[in-house]
Amino acid sequence: MRRAFAPVQMNRITVSVDIGGTFTDVVVQRGREVVESFKVPTTLAHPERGVLGALERSTSLPADTVVHATTLATNLLLDRSRAALPSTGLVTTKGFRDVIEIGRQNRSELYNLHFERPRPLVERRHRYELAERVGPGGIVERTVRNNELRQLVDRIHRDGLDTIAICFLHSYANSSAERIVARALRRPGTYVSVSSEVAPEPREFERTSTTVVNATLMPLISEYLGKLEQGLAHRGVRSLSIMSSAGGLITTDEARRRPVQVIESGPAAGVIAAAHLARLTGLGRVISFDMGGTTAKAGTIEDGAVTTTSEFEVGGDSHHGRRIKGSGYPILFPFVDLAEVSAGGGTVISRDPAGGLTIGPRSAGAVPGPACYGQGGTEPTLTDANLVLGILGNTLLGGELQLNPELALRSLRTFGPPMVVAERAIRLAELEMARAVRIVTVERGLDPSGFALVAFGGGGPQHAARIAAELGVRRVVIPPHPGLFSALGLLCSDWVYEERLSFPKDLKASVRRLEQRLRRRYGTVRFRHYADCRYTGQGSELRVPLRTVDEREVRRQFEGLHESTFGFRLRRPVEIVTVRVFGETRRTKPSIAVRPSEPPSGGTRRAILDGRWTDLRTYARGGLAVGRRVSGPCVIDDYDSTIFVPGGWVGAVGSIGQIALSTTGGPE
């Protein structure tokens, strides 16, 4: 069904809600202006109550629209107990029931003799086979027999399964058998996930895994969205949109149909906000650096384009920001390409088995939070370290959150002299965060010194300049509303939907067909085109952004990209494996500019820098006018964050209220 989106009226109210591991952020847009923003502790046990409770604080209700980023899907799949996950069934081609268990030959722990793969989301007794067969060219070699289908349906019903994934061999080339089985299984109260609707592309293991993950999430995400929509309707909210992992908003109907695309909902929003800031301030190449309460994340933006990937593993492990292949469940869906490390404000400081100081991966979260919050936490965190060092003041969130330095000192003293422990922990954290930035730059063949580092999240501005110095980056930009920037990114996002087709016989006709499908379903009128290409015989593809849908030009683009990526070309034919079309519907973006809201003021507070006590100059961000410059070392206190300017750095207030840090003091 086509969904029409009315143009935004100047008095229209849109509320953005971003749930993080520690805080839930709310930003309210009226017309083009941000009229309200605040943070509240996250309610992890009942996230829909947390969203509704956060909205109760707003003075702007009733709103027309709520846009929302959630970590619910990620948290469910990270819960290895599986207690919250439904019993899921899988219907597949005869002989392929164990594909999701066999997987690939890669081992995430090569030298671990007791290594075990992630437990399959479908028990073997709930994997059902059907004697149908489609060839790789899409030719039906054996049709679905009615009597076998009836027996299959009866067996599934007897087993009491209401959540079913369907994935047949080569269904990306011909989905007729999947559609027949789906029609037979669909009934009220049943959730059916079909591979040709979720991931219509080759690689049987990854496609099956994607379809199974999608099926597993369907009842849980549907229930959550149902409760949330009901609660919002009671509060006068007319519609709800959800952030996708690819960096665009989608409808709740789409999130229910393909919940696999909201797994990395929250982190994507911050990168979109950084891209919007880059366009407003003329920054061509940007590293987005987001340090929240639980983790720190880095991504790249070049000429306004966010770097994305189509392969992701959810629920797996990571090592210093790199996801360990084979440790989670593969997903074939567009994701914003991010490196993530356990270095947030609530990250716990501890000792490793050898007695050395270490940080993470555990976080104090929203409850009990860092020791200095005074909510019962006793383990030291990075927030405690920054507080005792004087980088943070004794209050946060405009005085709503009082920090207790004595509790922070007591927690750090567990591991030695508290100031020494704090400085070492901060240094470890900054090295870890710099590693995340290197993954998305140096390890992608990009020189970070040619980028500007856009730092946000509650903790990002505290560490950004020192991380930049570690990487040779000379420009750092702190946006307006840094601690609420991901929530602001939701307001800067467009509606974005993706359709794909594998092994197109006619590229132009295939692109037109995908465009028509997007236009019919979502009313989209603006499109971006990509093709996943490879030399024949290769086992992996490169993503080519299409300037034209002429096949010869696409092949030339691929060969140029292959040479720039790998340093050579091959004398082989080029094949287009998958063509992708993204449909976009533009939304009115808010003005993110901030102006001085209070008289200029300054002061000092005692701090330790490089092992020595000093009187650190302090400024209130709300008192700094456009063009004002401050020299480090100093801190700039904001409602939702604190900006640390080291010695040798200069901060300048830009045209929209951004703080540009540089080692030379020149305009950025």
- Given a cut of 50, whether residue 331 has pLDDT beyond it is yes
- Which residues are within 8 A (CB) of 432 and not within 5 positions of it... i.e. 6 or more apart? 296, 320, 321, 341, 342, 343, 359, 360
Q: Show the CA angle centred on residue 229, arms to residues 162 and 61, nearest 5°.
A: 170
Residue 2: per-residue pLDDT: 35
- Which residues are within 8 A (CB) of 618 and not within 5 positions of it... i.e. 6 or more apart? 393, 602, 603, 604, 605, 634, 635, 636, 637
- Given a cut of 80, whether residue 8 has pLDDT beyond it is no
**How many C-beta atoms surround the C-beta of residue 355 within 10 A?**
8
- Given a cut of 90, whether residue 646 has pLDDT beyond it is yes
pLDDT band, very low/low/confident/very high, at 127 (cuts 50, 70, 90): very high
pTM here? 0.89
- Given a cut of 80, whether residue 78 has pLDDT beyond it is no
Average pLDDT over residues 642-650: 96
Cβ atoms of 273 and 489 closer than 8 Å = yes
Tokens 């997903």 sit at which residue?
331
- Which residues are within 8 A (CB) of 636 and not within 5 positions of it... i.e. 6 or more apart? 618, 619, 620, 621, 624, 630, 642, 643, 645, 651, 659
Q: How far apart are CA 476 and CA 499, in angstroms?
A: 37
The amino acid at residue 152 is L
Residue 444: per-residue pLDDT: 85
pLDDT band, very low/low/confident/very high, at 105 (cuts 50, 70, 90): confident
DSSP string across 581-620? EEEEE--PPPB------S---EEEEEEEETTEEEEEEEEE
Average pLDDT over residues 50-79: 84
Q: How far apart are CA 90 and CA 65, in angstroms?
A: 37
- Given a cut of 50, whether residue 195 has pLDDT beyond it is yes
| pLDDT, tens only, 591-626 | 888 877 777 778 999 999 999 999 999 999 999 999
Q: How far apart are CA 200 and CA 196, in angstroms?
A: 4
DSSP string across 366-408? TTT--GGG-SS--S-BHHHHHHHHTSS-SEEGGGTEE--HHHH
Percent of the chain scored above 70 by pLDDT? 95
- Given a cut of 80, whether residue 664 has pLDDT beyond it is no
Are β-strands 612-620 and 642-645 bridged in parallel, bridged antiparallel, or unpaired? unpaired
**Spatial CA neighbour of 326 closest among 336, 340, 311, 337:** 311
Q: Which two tokens stand for residue 582?
A: 């993204």
Helix (H) or strand (E) holding 489: helix 485-491
The helices-and-strands tally (H runs, E runs) of the chain is 16, 37
Tokens 């950084």 sit at which residue?
274
Cβ atoms of 177 and 195 closer than 8 Å = no
Average pLDDT over residues 240-258: 94
Of 65-74, 134-143, 447-456, 610-619, which range is least confident?
65-74
Find the helix packing angle between 460-471 and 418-440, rounded to 10°: 60
Q: Which two tokens stand for residue 277?
A: 């800031």
Residue 111: per-residue pLDDT: 81
Residue 643's DSSP bridge partners are: 636
Average pLDDT over residues 314-335: 77
SS3 content of the chain, % helix, strand, coil (to 5): 35, 30, 40
Average pLDDT over residues 302-318: 82
| pLDDT, tens only, 558-600 | 999 999 888 999 999 999 999 999 999 998 888 888 877 777 7
In the DSSP assignment, the letter for residue 324 is -
User: What region does 258 belong to: left with phi over 0, alpha with psi -120 to 50, or beta?
Assistant: beta
Average pLDDT, the chain: 90
Residue 320: per-residue pLDDT: 64
**Spatial CA neighbour of 77 closest among 25, 17, 119:** 119
Of 81-85, 110-114, 225-229, 467-471, which range is least confident?
81-85
pLDDT band, very low/low/confident/very high, at 108 (cuts 50, 70, 90): confident
Residue 478: per-residue pLDDT: 97
pLDDT band, very low/low/confident/very high, at 666 (cuts 50, 70, 90): very low
**Spatial CA neighbour of 183 closest among 144, 133, 139, 155:** 144
Residue 5: per-residue pLDDT: 35
Q: Which two tokens stand for residue 44?
A: 């992890």
**How many C-beta atoms surround the C-beta of residue 560 within 10 A?**
12
